Amino acid sequence: MSIAGISSVLLYLGPFLLLGSFIILAATCFRTILQKNVENEMAGRVFGAAGTIGDISIPIAMLAYGFLLRFIICRWLLATTGFFLMLLSGLFYRSYRHIDMSEKRHLVTDPEFIE
């Protein structure tokens, strides 16, 4: 029996699959928004900085979760951060839908993509 009272791992796969898909959605939309708004001359620097910030944020988040888990129950902390992740993914996706790809024709490799 586990801490949450659920002994089957299969019950955890659904929520983690859902949260994983929201992480992928947020990352894809974020990269697309960067590609749309950054000039080609600065793209390498901006993507390098974004990747570095992402890599640095992992140990900082682990440290923050370590301290927060002393005061907040694990399921409430995961539910709260999962909610904010879904909210952030929705905001990125909303911004992503408003991108006009006709300005960046040189980035599109499939000619059928441009209407």
Number of domains in the chain: 1
Tell me whether residue 59 is in a domain.
yes
Q: Give the pLDDT of the chain (115 residues) as one tens digit per residue.
A: 455 566 676 777 887 888 888 888 888 888 888 888 888 888 889 889 988 998 898 899 889 989 998 999 888 888 898 899 888 888 877 776 665 555 555 554 445 545 4
Domain contains 104: no
Return the HEC string of the chain. CCCCCCCCCHHHHHHHHHHHHHHHHHHHHHHHHHHHHCCHHHHHHHHHHHHHHHHHHHHHHHHHHHHHCCCCCHHHHHHHHHHHHHHHHHHHHHHHHCCCHHHHHHHCCCCCCCC
Residue 63 located in a structural domain: yes
Query: So what's the pLDDT on residue 100?
Result: 57
75 occurs within a structural domain: yes
**Is residue 111 domain-resident?**
no
| pTM, 2 dp | 0.55
Does residue 45 belong to any structural domain of this protein?
A: yes
Q: Is residue 47 part of a domain?
A: yes
Domain span including residue 26: 14-99
Q: Is residue 36 part of a domain?
A: yes
